[in-house]
Amino acid sequence: MKVREVNNRAMFSLVRDLLLDGSSVTVTVRGQSMLPFFRSGSTVLLRPIRSEDFCKYNVVLADTGQNFVIHRIIEVGDEQITLLGDGNIYGTETMSRDKVYGVIDCSALHLALAKIWLWMRPVRRFPLAIFRRITPH
């Protein structure tokens, strides 16, 4: 099988279009912004977003305007949502709901652990430092 790398924006533009057409898409995570829940190299299945998916703690694919991210919802408003990568301490992204295209169906255990992880935000830089050292980029 021949593998070809494309830039992030081009690839996720195609993923967005497939999601808008109603298809589910499997993608490979790159980077550490979703540690400890998703490591670089993990594969995730994105399915098209539905209105009931706009819930705190869900993991979504969104277009920030500068790039696409797969991050967790930390705030839900009537018009906008705010996202934060699990591997980030700062640097939230706020956007309109129409810039969110896909969601990852996470288990109840995953969502419960995500609630604890978000609660740990003030001190999670310490476990994150360990995860970043032991996890390949």
pLDDT by residue for the chain (137 residues), tens only, comes to 776 777 888 889 999 999 999 999 999 988 888 989 998 889 999 999 999 999 999 999 999 998 999 999 999 999 999 999 999 988 899 999 999 999 999 999 999 999 999 999 889 888 888 888 887 66
The domains of the chain are located at: 8-124
Q: How many CB atoms lie within 10 A of CB 61?
A: 24
Backbone phi, then psi, for 53, in 5-degree steps? -80, -10
CATH (residue range 8-124) = 2.10.109.10
Strands 80-84, 68-76: pairing is antiparallel
Instruction: Give the up-direction half-sphere exposure of residue 89: CA atoms within 13 A in the CB hemisphere.
Output: 10
Amino acid identity, position 41: G
Contact indicator for 63, 99 with CB cutoff of 8 Å? yes
pLDDT at 131: 83
